[in-house]
Chain A
Amino acid sequence: MKIKSQKDFFAGLMFMGVGVAFAWGATTYNVGNGARMGPGYFPLMLGILLALIGSLITFKATVVETVDGEKIGTWAWKPLFFILAANFAFGILLGGLPSIGVPAMGLIVGIYALTFIASLAGNEFHAKSVFVLATVLAAGSYVAFVWALKLQFPVWPSFISG
């Protein structure tokens, strides 16, 4: 068996996996019947449907010729890691994570951390201009979200504001 379209092959596998997982999960709830549907009925149907479509996509990927094999290509680990890391760092710093003993550092610290980590994802990194950008974003966010829109944020670290 030769894979004719790598993208489709794995996309199909993904759909199959997710479909089976949902269908299997649905059977743990009351399925019921058509006239009296339980909470498991609709997800079971959809899960099976998704698994079927997934297998069809995978099957097609091994049969139908494509020009370039539709390779998935290399994964962009660097942007993937830094963008997600920036997001998680922001979340941890903003609200704190008591389970690992990180206190809430608030919005402003979070914005600086997010901007620096996210900037590492690109090809160029100039610490000075990133610092300027972070300062602009921190000031702008304070004015827009805290002052104008009055959204509820922990703005400063909890050990300062109490």
Chain B
Amino acid sequence: MGETYSYYPGCTSHSTAIEYIEASHAVMDALGIELKELPDWCCCGAASAHNLSSSLALGLSAFNVGEAHKAGADLVIPCAGCYGNLAQADFVMRQDDKERQRLEKQLDFTYDGEIKMLSLVDLLAREELRPAIKNLVKKPLTGLKVVCYYGCAIVRPGAITGVDDTENPLRIDTMMADLGAEVIDWSCKVDCCGGDLGLTDAKKTTELVNKIIDYAVAAEADCLVTSCALCEANVDIRQQRLPILYFTEMMAEAFQIGDRQRWWKKHFNNPAKLF
């Protein structure tokens, strides 16, 4: 395709979401999309910054939006949480001239509103990519029943994410169907996995996760597909009933690319038996 984007790895790219990042890069290579990591970036603040200080949260995310403007290309953000924070900062700067001017000065960049914040789903679920993706499918995922789980950050709030149907998003569903999988409509697409509650309240997180898995199992899914590292971690660690996969891993499997066997081992519910 010959497209080039700036790339914001986020902290989890080297840790909890390592298989997601590797799979995503493999898919990107196959599609001819070039990602250039930002020369400098910092943590978006995750949930912790805004929990303690809205201004710190805005500052940290704006730092990265500023770096993207300096680099001069749309910014791809694989981590859903990072995407949510950066998109929020971008939204504030788009809406509020005073805040924007303050941040431009502090972070030494010019905000032009041309640089878009893109989640990996935003990037890969584009209509114009569908023929290319279908072309790359070597081994269709025929017979595999999947439920797609979007979680919070790449969906809500709609005014910031640009998602029209916040109660029933379909972008990952469409991609999975293009890979040949049997996509099942289910009830917990956008329910909350507990987020960072995973580190503070195991009981409540397990409760939330179990509800999601109950519904996925009731829908007779073979696996659950997500695009969020935090969702993956919470939903994978706290149950032994269903394999959880990143959507780019599913693409890599269908394309038959990348070090898939190694990725499968990174999961707590090994999905190898599905393929």
Partners in one complex: no
